[in-house]
Structure 1
Amino acid sequence: MAQIDPITLQVIGGALHSIAEQMGNVLYRMSYSSIIRESQDLGAGLFDTGYNTLCESDSTPMHIGSLPGYLRGIGKRIPNEAWKPGDCVIHNHPYEGASHSPDIAIVMPVFFEGELVGFSANTAHHVDIGAATPGLIIDVPDMYAEGMLMNALKLYDGGVRNEALWQFIADNTRVKSLVMGDLEAQIASAELGVRRFEELFAKYGKADVKAACDELMDYAERMLRAEIAKIPDGDYTAEGFLDDDGRNRGVHLPVKVTVKVRGDSVEVDTTGSSDQVPTCFNVPFEGSTNVACFFAFRALLLDTYTHDVDIPQNEGSFRPVKVTSPKGSIFNPSAPVAAEARFCQIQRLVDLIIKALAPVIPDKVTAGNAATLSFAAFSGVRPSGDYWVFLEVNEAAMGGRPTSDGPDTVEELMRNTRNNPLEDLGMHLPLICDRYEVRDDIAPGAGKFRGGQGVVKSQRFLTPGFMTHESDRQEDTPWGIFGGKEGAVGQLTVSNINRPDEVRNEPAKLSGLRVEAGDVISYYSPSGGGYGDPLERDPEKVLDDVLDGFVTPEAARVDYGVVLSRTDDGYDYGLDLEATEVLRAERRALA
């Protein structure tokens, strides 16, 4: 391999990251649907001819880590020697590397001096691909009910537009203008990546660019291996469960994770987790299960803010991690079982990896996170006969951390998406947000550093419509750690503005629920567990939580041993530090 000087290496590394960021910016700024334009449910980057990630946009971690799987799936039908300049491939097959079918990838080859040198690719979540229910699906019999499945199809062949394929896609979605506009944005993003990568080769030469890419991947790998090597060898296990599969209510799905650390490598083994289920609540192995495990170790051990040096986001950080999931299990299903609703499971997979490793890396882990997803598809038919479809991702909370509280109302773990502005919702759709705030019906997990507090969001239909909801964790409570107390589970309710006293609880997963005008869907996200002994929490922080409405005065006494008294005006509370010290001493003596 050619050697490259350190300065040129850093310059090329910075250029690669800049290209990926530009690609992501073009994609979300040009998109039509709010799930991409506002939430930024996307990923973009450059790849070498071995399908290795060279750089990635700072967007949703799930997307970019999955793109090598898309490329490998495409490679089964289009080998490297078959690519031509001007080709543009669309791909979303869940059993050929895709993260799940709504995440459609656009891939374009990059040529320099007549030689294929890499790929420019992106992926984004599309609002509707013609599935059994608008926007999202839960209870369907197989992958064919997921909507359009496109396996390495050419939208452009040598620069010539495939009009039949474009027409096919337009004819098989409920929201043609959004989907076709988003595809155009993806193509523009990929074209930018092609152009910028070609310019990088022209400026620095093929040998130096390839050498830099190889060295940057090797560097990221060395950095992760060095961190893994600090963890004592051993097998570390954690278990939990998912509520149900969306059809068979009351039947929990076990999730078991064993993290096997050996030297500077690690294996994540999901043996013991549920068998695959008959709904779409399964996880594509290559495009989602693998990527969740890659993310977990990159986040735990290579976090940007815990290192003094920059560590590039590339294939090197995937290499030390092996993933094992038995075929036919929920984390490695067999076709043709559906596998579209897969995000709650991989959130829990990451959370359990954290729990398993907590005894040996206590300074890097959190207490139990919400570790789920609230993905809601609101839809209806306008008087014109046209569909409207809106996808919404709701926030949750993280568990307490070694030196700080868990963040409240945040897109935790693998999500990193943004919320959708309520003004945008009201301008374009027959929905009104009646409530959007921090939960006040429960307390977050108590601890030296408390868990994050969840969110509550209520959306009201102005016209009849439909609603599908993908979520979980209404039964398995986020765990506390090192003396911290557990958090709280989520909840989903349906009411009607004209009958406010009639409120019914619904399971986390709903498929094609018919609603009437005035129906209000309210989602309460889980809240995180606490980290450390609550009796060690700064009393001033407990007082702040009481004044913020997170904790009641009674809970301050019971959970934290903090005694409060009314202020002279009778409206607020103040600390009684002397009584607090006495109460805490009594509690410790009884422990």
Structure 2
Amino acid sequence: MATAAADPITTEVVRNFVISCAQDMNAALWRSAFSAIIYEGRDSAVALLDDKGNMLGQSTGVPLFVGAIDACVKLVLERYREDMHPGDIFVLNDSYLQGTHLHDVTAIGPLFHKGELVGFGAARAHWQDIGAIDPGSTMGSTSIYHEGIRLGPTRIVSKFKPIPEWFDLLTRNTRLKEMTLGDLNAQITAIRTGERRLGQVLDRIGPDVYRAACANIFEQARLLDRQAIAALKDGTYSREGWLDNDGVGSEPVKVALTLTIDGERMIIDLEGSSGPVEGSINCGAVQTVSMLRLAYKTMINPERAITGGSFSTMEVRIPDNCLFNAREPAACEWYFTGLGLLADLMISCLSQSMPEKATAAHYGDSMVAAFFDMDPDKGQWISVEPTAGGWGGTVGSDGESALINLCNGGFRNIPAEVYETKFPVRVEEFSLRRDSGGVGRWRGGCGVVRSYRLLDDCYGALWFERSKTPGWGLAGGSDGAGPSNEIVYPDGRTETPLKMRARRFPKGTLFVTRTGGGGGYGNPKARPVEEVRLDVVSGLVSAEEALARYGVAFNADLSVDPARTEARQPG
């Protein structure tokens, strides 16, 4: 029998369809979710995969998730390959299998067309409470058993019928039962949306032509990656940095990366990174690989979607005894803290091999401010919100200000109006942090100031990173500012923690959070005077910083003072 083929036009139609399908799935998830961290913050990701678990289509959300969803689907295939039926839904969240913390629950459904398995739909979303020792996210865990319920690949819906025992188990292990059930049903809705959309296409072209088009998409991705790596300068590049601490101790934690380009091959080795730590910044290997794929994609063929054919030239080596290869019972709640630094290290190494796209480091961490209360009389609520910061300058462009970190991609801050409607907290300031971007020919982006006034007694917690290794500059550019926080009590007392496990604060307490800036790129004395003037006028750089770091002097009306301004140097 002749093998079905897909012509180039059909292949392009399928390529765009799978992306469109994933976008529809994500829209269904966001519109159906109960928790603001999903429908406002968009702490989620969806994917459409083929019948072997290879990535086909993805949508905006948290890009860190997408590179690991295929591994989750393959785990379900491994356990249930001979026992899957139309309408089934499986879930898992095990940190050592899918790589992230237990809050990130992946729902997976096999997709059938006229009784034939044709693919999978998957939706990962952050559940606000998963039964950890603290509501929401705990900053003080030292074991996976502190962090909530842990699930391997588990069938919870069989042939469209929910399995009552599993739904009972899930809701008994959360403080927010209605919200958790609503978010799970939203994930199932996303999967059902993907199956319906896929069926419409298969009715027109049939499964055989669809599979042939998918094979073409995968092969094109492999070819483009091989060509891109072969065009890079061969060599071995190394870089290292330090996390502030692991959340429970005070010692810095080393992150090291060596990147080798050899013809069409790229080898990434994490030898030299710290071993497992007591605190909760350990990360499963699957998610580590996903983060390195994301860093790769920011520099190499970023305009092409990730598919099952991507990254075939990339090899990742992670030592067994390493915080990026977490094993039971290592704590993993803040798994992404080291990944932000790891991505910056890889991008800096790649910058040496492709200097035309060299990029300074960004602020690098999610910078989370969390507030909650579990008082049944006042209403139970949880807010866990990452905060934007500054990105690094690059050849030909300043870094972006007030942009979420690389791990979180499409994540959005909760608008102040929504925040103040849902929670007894007032957002008193949300502004750019002046002088936080590193100076350079191309300036680093600025971090933000976000201040929260508690309108009732409640719990507060903080997780801010990268003060010891802030966003570094390249080619003569300076480092961006690191993060800083201040807690001001109603009686005037203050404290300045970067990381703090949840504790109760009185009404009227003010939390002032400041995220870091991105590194600058190039000689700051080569930055044109007019660009420095615009930075000062727009409030990104102070007149004092402009004079001290750029050599540009200003009069009281912010006009340039030529007599006191240094001559510009070649860029």
Q: What is the TM-score normalised by the length of structure 1?
A: 0.93
Structure 2 distance, partners of 1:105, 1:476, is 32
Q: Secondary structure at the match of 1:565?
A: coil
| Alignment match, 2:496 | 505
| Alignment match, 1:43 | 45
Counterparts in 2 of 1:87-98, with a 5 A limit? 87-98=88-99
Q: Secondary structure at the match of 2:386?
A: strand
Q: Secondary structure at the match of 1:358?
A: helix
1:454 and 2:447 correspond = yes
Q: Is the 1:127–1:389 Cα contact (8 Å) retained in structure 2?
A: yes
Q: Is the 2:99–2:285 Cα contact (8 Å) retained in structure 1?
A: no
CA deviations 1:535-580 (Å, max 9, x no partner) are 11111111112223332323222211223234xxxxx221234653
Structure 1 distance, partners of 2:167, 2:562, is 70
Partner residue of 1:574 out of 532, 537, 559: 559
1:422 and 2:407 correspond = no
Displacement of 1:20 in angstroms is 0.5
Q: Is the 2:234–2:353 Cα contact (8 Å) retained in structure 1?
A: no
| Alignment match, 1:101 | 102
Q: Is the 2:141–2:333 Cα contact (8 Å) retained in structure 1?
A: no
Structure 2 distance, partners of 1:72, 1:540, is 55
Which is worse superposed, 386-395 or 236-245?
386-395
| Alignment-mate amino acid for residue 429 of structure 2 | R
Structure 2 distance, partners of 1:178, 1:87, is 22
Structure 2 distance, partners of 1:303, 1:138, is 34
Displacement of 1:262 in angstroms is 1.5
Counterparts in 2 of 1:105-124, with a 5 A limit? 105-124=106-125
Partner residue of 2:549 out of 559, 562, 579: 559
Displacement of 1:354 in angstroms is 1.1
1:520 and 2:510 correspond = yes
Structure 1 distance, partners of 2:496, 2:269, is 35
| Alignment match, 2:58 | 56
Counterparts in 2 of 1:399-548, with a 5 A limit? 399-416=392-409, 417-440=411-434, 442-496=435-489, 498-500=490-492, 502-506=493-497, 508-548=498-538
1:584 and 2:563 correspond = no
Counterparts in 2 of 1:6-155, with a 5 A limit? 6-78=8-80, 80-155=81-156
Structure 2 distance, partners of 1:552, 1:123, is 43
| Alignment match, 1:324 | 317
Structure 2 distance, partners of 1:421, 1:105, is 26
Q: Secondary structure at the match of 1:316?
A: coil
Runs of 4+ in 1 over 4 A off after TM superposition: none
RMSD across aligned C-alpha pairs, in angstroms? 1.7
Counterparts in 2 of 1:158-177, with a 5 A limit? 158-177=159-178
Q: Is the 1:366–1:402 Cα contact (8 Å) retained in structure 2?
A: yes
Structure 2 distance, partners of 1:280, 1:477, is 20
Structure 1 distance, partners of 2:541, 2:193, is 50
Q: Is the 1:101–1:146 Cα contact (8 Å) retained in structure 2?
A: yes
Call closer, same or farther: CA 1:277–1:82 in 2, change over 3 Å. Answer: same
| Alignment-mate amino acid for residue 437 of structure 1 | S
Call closer, same or farther: CA 1:483–1:7 in 2, change over 3 Å. Answer: same
Q: Is the 1:67–1:98 Cα contact (8 Å) retained in structure 2?
A: no
Q: Secondary structure at the match of 1:317?
A: coil
Structure 2 distance, partners of 1:423, 1:576, is 42
| Alignment-mate amino acid for residue 348 of structure 1 | L
Structure 2 distance, partners of 1:494, 1:443, is 20
| Alignment-mate amino acid for residue 447 of structure 2 | G
The alignment covers a number of residue pairs equal to 567
| Alignment match, 1:336 | 329
Q: Secondary structure at the match of 1:224?
A: helix
Q: Secondary structure at the match of 1:574?
A: coil
Structure 2 distance, partners of 1:419, 1:386, is 23
| Alignment match, 1:239 | 240
| Alignment match, 1:390 | 383
Which is worse superposed, 214-223 or 13-22?
214-223
Structure 2 distance, partners of 1:148, 1:578, is 67
Q: Secondary structure at the match of 1:43?
A: strand
Displacement of 1:179 in angstroms is 1.2
| Alignment-mate amino acid for residue 280 of structure 1 | S
Displacement of 1:469 in angstroms is 2.6
Structure 2 distance, partners of 1:105, 1:565, is 57
| Alignment-mate amino acid for residue 290 of structure 2 | V
1:275 and 2:302 correspond = no
Displacement of 1:479 in angstroms is 1.1
Structure 2 distance, partners of 1:77, 1:359, is 43
| Alignment match, 2:290 | 291
Counterparts in 2 of 1:197-208, with a 5 A limit? 197-208=198-209
Which is worse superposed, 148-157 or 32-41?
148-157
Q: Is the 1:141–1:278 Cα contact (8 Å) retained in structure 2?
A: yes
CA deviations 1:21-41 (Å, max 9, x no partner) are 100111011111111000111
Structure 2 distance, partners of 1:555, 1:141, is 42
Structure 2 distance, partners of 1:443, 1:87, is 50
Structure 2 distance, partners of 1:248, 1:193, is 45
Which is worse superposed, 413-422 or 464-473?
464-473
Displacement of 1:494 in angstroms is 1.2
| Alignment-mate amino acid for residue 546 of structure 1 | V
Structure 2 distance, partners of 1:383, 1:195, is 41
Q: Is the 2:352–2:358 Cα contact (8 Å) retained in structure 1?
A: no
Which is worse superposed, 16-25 or 540-549?
540-549
Displacement of 1:334 in angstroms is 1.5
Structure 1 distance, partners of 2:218, 2:407, is 22
| Alignment-mate amino acid for residue 468 of structure 1 | A
Call closer, same or farther: CA 1:547–1:35 in 2, change over 3 Å. Answer: same
Q: Secondary structure at the match of 2:357?
A: coil
Displacement of 1:516 in angstroms is 1.8
| Alignment match, 1:252 | 252
Q: Secondary structure at the match of 2:372?
A: strand
Displacement of 1:377 in angstroms is 2.4
Structure 2 distance, partners of 1:421, 1:518, is 21
Q: What is the TM-score normalised by the length of structure 2?
A: 0.96
| Alignment-mate amino acid for residue 412 of structure 1 | N
Displacement of 1:327 in angstroms is 1.3
Structure 1 distance, partners of 2:87, 2:195, is 10
Displacement of 1:16 in angstroms is 0.9
Structure 2 distance, partners of 1:385, 1:162, is 33
Q: Secondary structure at the match of 2:353?
A: coil
Q: Is the 1:87–1:154 Cα contact (8 Å) retained in structure 2?
A: yes
Displacement of 1:383 in angstroms is 5.1
Q: Which runs of 5 or more structure 1 residues have no equivalent in the other structure?
A: 305-310, 567-571
Q: Secondary structure at the match of 2:309?
A: helix
| Alignment match, 1:308 | none
Displacement of 1:185 in angstroms is 0.7
Call closer, same or farther: CA 1:386–1:556 in 2, change over 3 Å. Answer: closer
| Alignment match, 2:306 | 313
Structure 2 distance, partners of 1:466, 1:219, is 51
Q: Secondary structure at the match of 2:242?
A: strand
Structure 1 distance, partners of 2:14, 2:544, is 58
CA deviations 1:362-411 (Å, max 9, x no partner) are 22132121011112321113352652111211111101121111111111
| Alignment-mate amino acid for residue 529 of structure 1 | G
Structure 1 distance, partners of 2:94, 2:186, is 20
| Alignment match, 1:550 | 540
Q: Is the 2:249–2:279 Cα contact (8 Å) retained in structure 1?
A: no
Which is worse superposed, 314-323 or 46-55?
314-323
Displacement of 1:69 in angstroms is 1.7
Structure 2 distance, partners of 1:484, 1:51, is 44
Structure 1 distance, partners of 2:260, 2:466, is 26
Displacement of 1:356 in angstroms is 1.5
Structure 1 distance, partners of 2:137, 2:234, is 42
